[in-house]
Amino acid sequence: MTLILFFLLVFVVGPLIFRVMTKRQPTRGQMLFLLSFALVSAAAALAIRYGLARPLDAEMLMAGVSLLLIWLAWIGVLAFVTQALRRAYPGQKFRRWTSFLGAIGTTIPWFGLAWASILAP
């Protein structure tokens, strides 16, 4: 059951989050927000993983939250790069391709985790 929920999170929720982040036309303010979102998510993930997990005595839970935040940072980076490319190349065809490739890019961590679980003894 957990694996199915994780699968739905990665393959449905991830592309939807990406879609929401890249729906509007790229502006400097939005790009600054996306970059800030990615940096804050990554910094929070590292702080939780290496600083806050021990005092809270919930290391497995905090490791999961840390992975979730790293994944959200990954989506933020993808959205930032997508908006930067759309700003440089404003055509409709390019917009469709960046939407498609960015949505697929949000699922890449799933394949990394699947590969790691295959290789683990």
| Non-local CB neighbours of 22 within 8 Å, separated by 6+ positions | 79, 82, 83, 86, 98, 99, 102
Cβ atoms < 10 Å from Cβ of 117: 8
pLDDT for 116 equals 82
User: Which pLDDT score, from 0 to 100, does residue 8 have?
Assistant: 86
> Kind and range of the H or E element at 20?
helix 14-22
In angstroms, the CA 110 to CA 119 distance is 14
Q: Please name which of 63, 37, 30 lies closest in space to residue 49, comparing C-alpha atoms.
A: 63
pTM of the full structure:
0.87
| Listed residue (87, 109, 85, 108) closest to 98, CA to CA | 85
Please, what are the averages of pLDDT over each run of 10 residues along the chain (121 residues)? 80 94 91 95 89 67 86 96 94 93 91 82 71
Instruction: Provide the pLDDT for residue 32.
Output: 94
